[in-house]
Amino acid sequence: MEQSRQVFRESAAVYDLLYGDKDYVSETEWIKRNLAKHGCEPGANLLEFGSGTGRHARILGDLGYLVTAVEPSSEMQSRAEPHERVTYLHGDTSSTDLDLNFDAVLALFHVMSYHTTLLSINAFFETAGRHLDHGGLFAFDVWYSPAVHSLVPEKRIMTKANSLMSVTRIAEPSEDIARSLVSVDFHYSVKNLETSEISNYSETHMMRHFTETEIQMFGGQHGFELVESSEFMTDAEPGRTTWGVWFVLRKK
């Protein structure tokens, strides 16, 4: 996931502020129930790719899992707090080779959608398979193509503040329909509330959306079978308004 080495260099400093109201606890408890449904109970060894600042990983640790959290952005990883059941590693989804097998490989908060080329998608599936025994799970959420086409990405503005800074982020998307891509230009304005200094910078995030058929195809090519697709956090059947879809694949 080479893209993440670049796009989170400056925004890492404001990432947890921007997503401070994201309900990581409820999300992780739902992931726990979902994994347990497929035989992966607390106590299992998990490998998480794209772990960011480690918020999901630490809660998974609190819930009893042993987690190896791999993150390509050193700026993001430097902000991860230590946890006795979490091991943080710097790496990506194509070159990581730990010579270890896990009970499940996870990619949360649309990490899979940051894989925009056939080469990087196939490399991720290969890496996941390399770290799983037969019967191991590969679970992730993605942008779902029917919803992206139906809802259409739109400009969004987010403003957040704490005692140290205020941040305004403008997201301006553009679609490449033929390649199932959305390019999102993020423009940041960050004000230091102690000095009143303002810094401005921009990042472009390329996101790929997927159909269920594509996930089945990529999985089948790498020795996986699809065992579940559902709306993330609700278990509902995916539809035209389901932006985030959760897939669980099992290694044959």
Q: What share of the chain is helix, strand, coil (3-state, %, to 5)?
A: 30, 35, 35
pLDDT tens column, 139-174: 999 999 999 999 999 999 999 999 999 999 999 999
CATH of the domain at 203: 2.20.130.10
> Average model confidence (pLDDT) for the chain?
96
Same domain, 59 and 176: no
Contact 131, 47 (CB under 8 A): yes
pLDDT digits (tens, 9 = 90+) for 212-230: 999 999 999 999 999 999 9
Pair 48, 154 in one domain: no
Residue 4 has pLDDT above 80, yes or no: no
Q: Are residues 9 and 87 in the same domain?
A: yes
Together in a domain, 159 and 109 = no
In a shared domain, residues 164 and 47: no
| Same domain as 59, residue 19 | yes
Query: Domain check: are 131 and 242 in the same one?
Result: yes
pTM to 2 decimals?
Answer: 0.96
Full residue range of the structural domain in which residue 14 is found = 3-143+210-251
DSSP per-residue string spanning 185-242 = EEEEEEEETTT--EEEEEEEEEEEEE-HHHHHHHHHHTTEEEEEEEETTT-PPP-TT-
What lies within 8 Å, CB to CB, of 23 at 6+ separation is none
Number of domains in the chain: 2
pLDDT by residue (tens digit) across 107-122?
A: 999 999 999 999 999 9
Provide the pLDDT for residue 241: 97
CATH number assigned to the domain comprising residue 228: 3.40.50.150
Same domain? 231 vs 194: no
- Judge if 186 and 160 occupy the same domain: yes
Same-domain check for residues 107 and 156:
no
Same domain, 99 and 203: no
Q: How far is CA 137 from CA 86, 89, 133, 247, in A?
A: 19, 21, 9, 10
Q: Are residues 192 and 89 in the same domain?
A: no
Instruction: Using the predicted structure, report yes or no on whether residue 19 has a pLDDT greater than 80.
Output: yes
